[in-house]
Amino acid sequence: MPTLRISPEKVCSIVVKARELGVKVAPEWLDDGSNPTDDQMAQILEDYADDATLDELKSYLKALNEDELEDLLALTWLGRGDYTLADWEDLMSEVQDVRDRHTVDYLIGTPLLADYLENGLSEFGLSCAEFELGRM
């Protein structure tokens, strides 16, 4: 089984912050059922420009090292169903090919980020349940 270079606790901290951000009211156009474009995703970030939760999540993500960011992106894609755990080596190769300075914004702009990260962790037999209970 592959090993993660980011701790489950860090992933769960991101899940909690992403959920806090996700429960806020989204722009009206997001409810029209269409898939958001890059311009619309930028608008989401602009809509939350003065949001303390967004700032906290962004700061947390920017403080991660390269390996942790790569694992976070891989967990997102794994949890979204783009890959399986058996494809982990291929997934990491793909992540390393596309990783750039926009990864933090990409992650923040990913709808259902918290769900994808939790799904990705579950592929490793890990859960945020205990972590979330400890924060309550």
Evaluate if residue 77 carries a pLDDT over 80: yes
Euclidean distance between CA atoms 57 and 54, whole angstroms: 5
Tokens 């949001």 appear where?
51
The pLDDT, as a whole number, for residue 135 is 57
Evaluate if residue 33 carries a pLDDT over 60: no
Closest CA to 15 of 130, 127, 115, 124: 115
* Predicted model pTM: 0.78
The pLDDT, as a whole number, for residue 49 is 53
